[in-house]
Amino acid sequence: MKVAFIGLHHWHAPFYMEGLHTMGQPIAAVADPDPEMLEFRAEAGNCDAPRYTDYEKMLAEVEPDFIFAFAPHDEMTELAEWLVDHDLPFHMEKPMGLSWKKLARVAEKANEKKLYNAVALVSRQYGIIQRLRELGEDIGKVARYYYALFAGPPVRYPEWKCEWMLQPERTGAGPLWNFGPHVIDLFLLLGKSPIIEVRANWTHHVHDLAVEDLCTIAMTNAEGIVGIGEVSYTTPEGYERFFSISTDKLQVCTQTLGVGSIKRFDGNHEQIVGPEFDDVYPLQTKDVLERFERGDEPPADINDMVATLQVMEAAKLSAQSGAPVELWDAAEL
Protein backbone atom coordinates (compact mmCIF):
# COMPACT_ATOMS: atom_id res chain seq x y z
CA MET A 1 0.00 0.00 0.00
CA LYS A 2 1.30 3.44 -0.95
CA VAL A 3 0.72 5.97 1.83
CA ALA A 4 1.32 9.68 1.26
CA PHE A 5 1.04 12.91 3.25
CA ILE A 6 -0.65 16.05 1.96
CA GLY A 7 -0.56 19.44 3.73
CA LEU A 8 2.10 19.85 6.39
CA HIS A 9 1.15 23.14 8.07
CA HIS A 10 -0.13 21.21 11.12
CA TRP A 11 2.27 20.07 13.84
CA HIS A 12 0.66 16.65 14.18
CA ALA A 13 1.88 15.38 10.79
CA PRO A 14 5.17 14.03 12.23
CA PHE A 15 3.21 12.03 14.83
CA TYR A 16 1.73 9.96 12.02
CA MET A 17 5.04 9.69 10.18
CA GLU A 18 6.50 8.18 13.34
CA GLY A 19 3.45 5.93 13.61
CA LEU A 20 4.11 4.58 10.13
CA HIS A 21 7.79 4.06 10.96
CA THR A 22 6.71 2.02 13.99
CA MET A 23 4.49 -0.11 11.76
CA GLY A 24 7.24 -0.61 9.22
CA GLN A 25 5.04 1.07 6.61
CA PRO A 26 7.01 3.10 4.04
CA ILE A 27 5.89 6.64 3.23
CA ALA A 28 5.53 6.99 -0.53
CA ALA A 29 5.59 10.81 -0.67
CA VAL A 30 5.00 14.02 1.28
CA ALA A 31 3.50 17.14 -0.28
CA ASP A 32 2.97 20.79 0.63
CA PRO A 33 3.04 23.93 -1.53
CA ASP A 34 5.53 25.51 0.89
CA PRO A 35 8.98 23.91 0.37
CA GLU A 36 10.31 25.25 3.67
CA MET A 37 7.42 23.72 5.60
CA LEU A 38 7.81 20.52 3.62
CA GLU A 39 11.39 20.12 4.81
CA PHE A 40 10.64 21.24 8.37
CA ARG A 41 7.86 18.69 8.98
CA ALA A 42 9.54 15.85 7.08
CA GLU A 43 12.68 16.32 9.14
CA ALA A 44 10.61 16.37 12.36
CA GLY A 45 9.05 13.07 11.31
CA ASN A 46 12.35 11.46 10.28
CA CYS A 47 10.88 11.13 6.81
CA ASP A 48 13.08 10.85 3.71
CA ALA A 49 10.23 10.21 1.26
CA PRO A 50 10.11 12.11 -2.07
CA ARG A 51 8.92 15.70 -1.66
CA TYR A 52 6.31 17.44 -3.81
CA THR A 53 5.02 21.00 -3.85
CA ASP A 54 2.28 20.13 -6.37
CA TYR A 55 -0.48 17.78 -5.17
CA GLU A 56 -1.66 16.85 -8.66
CA LYS A 57 1.86 16.00 -9.76
CA MET A 58 2.32 13.83 -6.68
CA LEU A 59 -0.90 11.94 -7.45
CA ALA A 60 0.10 11.39 -11.06
CA GLU A 61 3.61 10.14 -10.27
CA VAL A 62 3.08 8.27 -6.99
CA GLU A 63 -0.54 7.04 -7.33
CA PRO A 64 -1.05 6.75 -3.55
CA ASP A 65 -3.62 4.37 -2.10
CA PHE A 66 -4.15 6.36 1.10
CA ILE A 67 -3.58 9.93 2.27
CA PHE A 68 -2.84 11.42 5.69
CA ALA A 69 -4.07 15.01 5.33
CA PHE A 70 -3.30 18.12 7.40
CA ALA A 71 -3.87 21.86 7.07
CA PRO A 72 -4.61 24.99 9.10
CA HIS A 73 -8.19 24.76 10.37
CA ASP A 74 -9.56 27.27 7.86
CA GLU A 75 -8.21 25.22 4.93
CA MET A 76 -9.26 21.77 6.11
CA THR A 77 -12.76 21.58 4.63
CA GLU A 78 -11.54 22.63 1.19
CA LEU A 79 -8.77 20.04 1.34
CA ALA A 80 -11.24 17.35 2.45
CA GLU A 81 -13.46 18.19 -0.52
CA TRP A 82 -10.46 17.97 -2.87
CA LEU A 83 -9.66 14.51 -1.50
CA VAL A 84 -13.26 13.37 -1.91
CA ASP A 85 -13.44 14.77 -5.45
CA HIS A 86 -10.28 12.80 -6.29
CA ASP A 87 -11.70 9.60 -4.73
CA LEU A 88 -8.77 9.38 -2.34
CA PRO A 89 -9.28 7.43 0.90
CA PHE A 90 -7.93 9.59 3.69
CA HIS A 91 -7.40 10.37 7.34
CA MET A 92 -7.59 14.03 8.37
CA GLU A 93 -6.62 15.85 11.51
CA LYS A 94 -9.53 17.32 13.49
CA PRO A 95 -11.52 19.60 13.44
CA MET A 96 -11.77 19.48 9.61
CA GLY A 97 -12.84 23.12 9.35
CA LEU A 98 -14.60 26.11 10.85
CA SER A 99 -18.17 25.57 9.60
CA TRP A 100 -20.18 22.43 10.23
CA LYS A 101 -22.54 23.28 7.37
CA LYS A 102 -19.70 23.44 4.85
CA LEU A 103 -18.23 20.22 6.21
CA ALA A 104 -21.65 18.54 6.07
CA ARG A 105 -21.77 19.14 2.32
CA VAL A 106 -18.42 17.39 1.94
CA ALA A 107 -19.62 14.56 4.18
CA GLU A 108 -22.65 14.09 1.95
CA LYS A 109 -20.39 13.69 -1.09
CA ALA A 110 -18.14 11.22 0.75
CA ASN A 111 -21.18 9.23 1.91
CA GLU A 112 -22.59 9.07 -1.61
CA LYS A 113 -19.28 7.71 -2.88
CA LYS A 114 -18.89 5.37 0.11
CA LEU A 115 -15.35 6.73 0.32
CA TYR A 116 -13.30 5.55 3.30
CA ASN A 117 -12.36 8.49 5.48
CA ALA A 118 -11.25 8.91 9.07
CA VAL A 119 -10.79 11.82 11.45
CA ALA A 120 -8.38 12.18 14.37
CA LEU A 121 -10.83 12.00 17.27
CA VAL A 122 -8.09 10.14 19.07
CA SER A 123 -9.55 10.17 22.59
CA ARG A 124 -11.51 7.16 21.37
CA GLN A 125 -8.23 5.21 21.44
CA TYR A 126 -7.57 5.55 25.19
CA GLY A 127 -7.74 2.27 27.08
CA ILE A 128 -10.70 3.13 29.32
CA ILE A 129 -12.68 4.60 26.40
CA GLN A 130 -12.02 1.49 24.33
CA ARG A 131 -13.35 -0.68 27.13
CA LEU A 132 -16.45 1.47 27.61
CA ARG A 133 -17.16 1.18 23.89
CA GLU A 134 -16.69 -2.59 24.00
CA LEU A 135 -19.34 -2.79 26.73
CA GLY A 136 -21.98 -1.45 24.35
CA GLU A 137 -25.37 -1.33 26.02
CA ASP A 138 -23.83 -2.76 29.20
CA ILE A 139 -22.35 0.67 29.89
CA GLY A 140 -25.85 1.66 31.01
CA LYS A 141 -27.53 5.05 30.70
CA VAL A 142 -25.22 8.00 31.27
CA ALA A 143 -26.15 10.17 34.27
CA ARG A 144 -23.19 12.56 34.32
CA TYR A 145 -20.10 13.24 32.23
CA TYR A 146 -16.96 15.33 32.72
CA TYR A 147 -13.86 15.53 30.55
CA ALA A 148 -11.16 18.17 30.97
CA LEU A 149 -8.03 18.66 28.91
CA PHE A 150 -5.67 21.38 30.11
CA ALA A 151 -2.48 22.25 28.21
CA GLY A 152 0.44 24.64 28.46
CA PRO A 153 0.87 28.15 27.06
CA PRO A 154 0.04 28.59 23.37
CA VAL A 155 3.36 30.31 22.64
CA ARG A 156 4.53 26.87 21.53
CA TYR A 157 2.49 27.09 18.33
CA PRO A 158 4.58 29.83 16.65
CA GLU A 159 7.66 27.85 17.71
CA TRP A 160 6.17 24.93 15.75
CA LYS A 161 5.51 27.20 12.74
CA CYS A 162 1.78 27.23 13.43
CA GLU A 163 1.24 30.95 13.98
CA TRP A 164 -2.26 30.53 12.58
CA MET A 165 -3.23 28.77 15.84
CA LEU A 166 -3.27 32.20 17.54
CA GLN A 167 -5.42 33.81 14.82
CA PRO A 168 -9.15 33.22 15.52
CA GLU A 169 -10.15 33.85 11.91
CA ARG A 170 -7.93 30.95 10.86
CA THR A 171 -8.07 28.57 13.81
CA GLY A 172 -11.76 29.07 14.78
CA ALA A 173 -10.97 29.59 18.48
CA GLY A 174 -8.29 28.58 20.98
CA PRO A 175 -8.61 25.39 23.05
CA LEU A 176 -12.29 25.13 22.03
CA TRP A 177 -11.21 24.32 18.47
CA ASN A 178 -8.01 22.54 19.47
CA PHE A 179 -9.17 20.21 22.26
CA GLY A 180 -12.93 20.77 22.23
CA PRO A 181 -13.52 18.10 19.57
CA HIS A 182 -12.32 15.41 21.98
CA VAL A 183 -14.49 16.37 24.96
CA ILE A 184 -17.58 16.88 22.79
CA ASP A 185 -17.11 13.72 20.74
CA LEU A 186 -16.91 11.43 23.77
CA PHE A 187 -20.11 12.86 25.24
CA LEU A 188 -21.89 12.21 21.95
CA LEU A 189 -20.35 8.76 21.66
CA LEU A 190 -20.93 7.52 25.21
CA GLY A 191 -24.15 9.44 25.87
CA LYS A 192 -25.72 7.99 22.70
CA SER A 193 -27.93 11.05 22.39
CA PRO A 194 -27.71 14.23 20.30
CA ILE A 195 -26.81 17.48 22.05
CA ILE A 196 -29.68 19.97 21.93
CA GLU A 197 -28.38 22.90 24.00
CA VAL A 198 -24.97 24.36 24.75
CA ARG A 199 -23.87 26.95 27.30
CA ALA A 200 -20.23 28.02 27.24
CA ASN A 201 -17.93 30.53 28.87
CA TRP A 202 -14.37 31.50 28.07
CA THR A 203 -11.60 33.66 29.52
CA HIS A 204 -8.72 35.62 27.99
CA HIS A 205 -6.88 37.12 30.96
CA VAL A 206 -4.21 34.45 31.47
CA HIS A 207 -2.34 35.07 28.21
CA ASP A 208 -4.17 38.15 26.87
CA LEU A 209 -4.34 36.75 23.36
CA ALA A 210 -6.99 36.89 20.65
CA VAL A 211 -7.78 33.22 21.32
CA GLU A 212 -9.28 32.21 24.65
CA ASP A 213 -7.28 30.72 27.55
CA LEU A 214 -10.03 28.43 28.78
CA CYS A 215 -13.46 27.36 27.62
CA THR A 216 -16.01 25.59 29.82
CA ILE A 217 -18.84 23.87 27.94
CA ALA A 218 -22.12 22.60 29.40
CA MET A 219 -23.89 20.31 26.92
CA THR A 220 -27.45 19.09 27.40
CA ASN A 221 -28.49 16.10 25.33
CA ALA A 222 -31.93 14.96 24.24
CA GLU A 223 -32.16 12.72 27.33
CA GLY A 224 -31.77 15.80 29.56
CA ILE A 225 -28.28 14.75 30.70
CA VAL A 226 -25.68 17.49 31.09
CA GLY A 227 -22.09 16.81 30.09
CA ILE A 228 -19.31 19.19 31.09
CA GLY A 229 -16.18 19.75 29.06
CA GLU A 230 -13.27 22.03 29.97
CA VAL A 231 -10.36 22.80 27.67
CA SER A 232 -7.55 25.27 28.22
CA TYR A 233 -4.03 26.61 27.80
CA THR A 234 -3.73 27.25 31.55
CA THR A 235 -1.03 24.86 32.81
CA PRO A 236 2.50 26.27 33.14
CA GLU A 237 3.74 23.24 31.21
CA GLY A 238 2.61 19.84 30.07
CA TYR A 239 -0.90 18.39 30.02
CA GLU A 240 -3.49 17.55 32.66
CA ARG A 241 -6.50 15.36 31.96
CA PHE A 242 -9.52 14.45 34.05
CA PHE A 243 -12.25 12.08 32.92
CA SER A 244 -15.29 10.99 34.92
CA ILE A 245 -18.54 9.36 33.89
CA SER A 246 -21.40 7.81 35.86
CA THR A 247 -24.21 5.62 34.54
CA ASP A 248 -26.90 3.53 36.16
CA LYS A 249 -24.47 0.59 36.03
CA LEU A 250 -20.96 1.95 36.60
CA GLN A 251 -18.60 4.82 37.31
CA VAL A 252 -15.15 5.82 36.05
CA CYS A 253 -12.92 8.58 37.42
CA THR A 254 -9.36 8.91 36.15
CA GLN A 255 -6.64 11.40 35.28
CA THR A 256 -5.08 9.18 32.64
CA LEU A 257 -7.88 7.65 30.47
CA GLY A 258 -5.59 4.74 29.68
CA VAL A 259 -5.30 3.32 33.19
CA GLY A 260 -7.97 3.23 35.88
CA SER A 261 -10.93 1.42 37.40
CA ILE A 262 -14.43 0.77 36.15
CA LYS A 263 -16.49 0.44 39.33
CA ARG A 264 -19.84 -1.33 39.00
CA PHE A 265 -22.87 -1.30 41.25
CA ASP A 266 -22.99 -5.10 41.06
CA GLY A 267 -19.50 -5.26 42.58
CA ASN A 268 -17.76 -6.64 39.48
CA HIS A 269 -15.13 -3.92 39.29
CA GLU A 270 -12.56 -3.92 36.53
CA GLN A 271 -9.01 -2.55 36.39
CA ILE A 272 -8.02 -1.22 32.97
CA VAL A 273 -4.46 -0.91 31.71
CA GLY A 274 -4.46 0.23 28.11
CA PRO A 275 -3.27 2.83 25.62
CA GLU A 276 -2.28 6.17 27.15
CA PHE A 277 -1.39 9.55 25.62
CA ASP A 278 1.96 8.47 24.16
CA ASP A 279 0.24 5.47 22.54
CA VAL A 280 -2.76 7.04 20.85
CA TYR A 281 -1.17 8.47 17.71
CA PRO A 282 0.77 5.33 16.74
CA LEU A 283 -2.37 3.34 17.57
CA GLN A 284 -4.59 5.67 15.54
CA THR A 285 -2.22 5.39 12.56
CA LYS A 286 -2.22 1.60 12.69
CA ASP A 287 -5.94 1.27 13.42
CA VAL A 288 -7.00 3.56 10.57
CA LEU A 289 -4.86 1.75 7.98
CA GLU A 290 -5.74 -1.76 9.15
CA ARG A 291 -9.45 -0.96 9.07
CA PHE A 292 -9.04 0.46 5.58
CA GLU A 293 -7.26 -2.66 4.38
CA ARG A 294 -9.93 -4.92 5.91
CA GLY A 295 -12.80 -2.86 4.53
CA ASP A 296 -14.06 -2.05 8.04
CA GLU A 297 -15.55 1.20 9.31
CA PRO A 298 -13.00 3.77 10.55
CA PRO A 299 -12.70 4.51 14.29
CA ALA A 300 -14.35 7.92 13.59
CA ASP A 301 -15.25 9.63 10.33
CA ILE A 302 -16.35 12.90 8.79
CA ASN A 303 -19.94 12.39 9.97
CA ASP A 304 -18.76 12.24 13.59
CA MET A 305 -16.81 15.43 13.01
CA VAL A 306 -19.84 17.22 11.53
CA ALA A 307 -21.87 16.48 14.67
CA THR A 308 -19.00 17.59 16.89
CA LEU A 309 -18.29 20.74 14.90
CA GLN A 310 -21.92 21.80 15.15
CA VAL A 311 -21.61 21.73 18.95
CA MET A 312 -18.30 23.61 18.77
CA GLU A 313 -19.92 26.40 16.78
CA ALA A 314 -22.80 26.57 19.26
CA ALA A 315 -20.31 26.77 22.14
CA LYS A 316 -18.47 29.60 20.43
CA LEU A 317 -21.71 31.50 19.88
CA SER A 318 -22.71 30.95 23.51
CA ALA A 319 -19.32 32.13 24.83
CA GLN A 320 -19.51 35.24 22.66
CA SER A 321 -23.11 36.09 23.55
CA GLY A 322 -23.21 34.97 27.18
CA ALA A 323 -26.41 33.04 26.49
CA PRO A 324 -27.27 29.38 25.97
CA VAL A 325 -27.59 28.25 22.36
CA GLU A 326 -30.06 25.65 21.19
CA LEU A 327 -28.77 23.51 18.36
CA TRP A 328 -31.45 24.68 15.98
CA ASP A 329 -30.14 28.19 16.68
CA ALA A 330 -26.65 26.97 15.85
CA ALA A 331 -27.99 25.62 12.56
CA GLU A 332 -28.52 29.22 11.46
CA LEU A 333 -24.79 30.03 11.76
Report the 10 Å Cβ neighbour count for 143.
Answer: 14
Q: Rounded to a whole number, what is the distance in angstroms from the first to the last CA of the chain?
A: 41
Cα 256 to Cα 234: distance, rounded to the nearest angstrom = 18
Q: Has residue 39 been placed in a domain?
A: yes
CATH number, domain with residue 256: 3.30.360.10
Please indicate, yes or no, whether residues 160 and 221 belong to a single structural domain of this protein.
yes
Q: What is the CATH number of the domain that holds 57?
A: 3.40.50.720
Across the range 200-220, mean pLDDT stands at 97
pLDDT of 329: 52
Q: Same structural domain for residues 174 and 318?
A: yes
Residues 183-191, mean pLDDT to the nearest whole number:
98
Q: Which of 85, 119, 153 is the last residue of a domain?
A: 119
For 276-287, write each residue's pLDDT tens digit: 988 999 999 999
pTM of the model: 0.96
> Do the domain assignments include residue 285?
no
Quick one: 100 and 203 in the same domain?
no
Is the pLDDT assigned to residue 333 strictly greater than 80? no
Sign of CA dihedral 131, 94, 81, 173: positive
Of the chain, the percentage scoring pLDDT greater than 70 comes to 98
| Structural domain containing residue 115 | 3-119
- Give per-residue pLDDT as tens, 22-70: 999 999 999 999 999 999 999 999 999 999 999 999 999 999 999 999 9
Q: What is the mean pLDDT of residues 304-321?
A: 98
115-138 pLDDT per residue, tens: 999 999 999 999 999 999 999 999
Residue 289 lies in a domain: no
- Residue at 297 is within a domain: no
For residues 239 and 135, state if they share a domain: yes
Say yes or no: 127 and 193 in one domain: yes
139 touches 233 (CB < 8 A): no
Determine which of 53-57, 69-73, 154-158 has the lowest per-residue pLDDT on average: 154-158
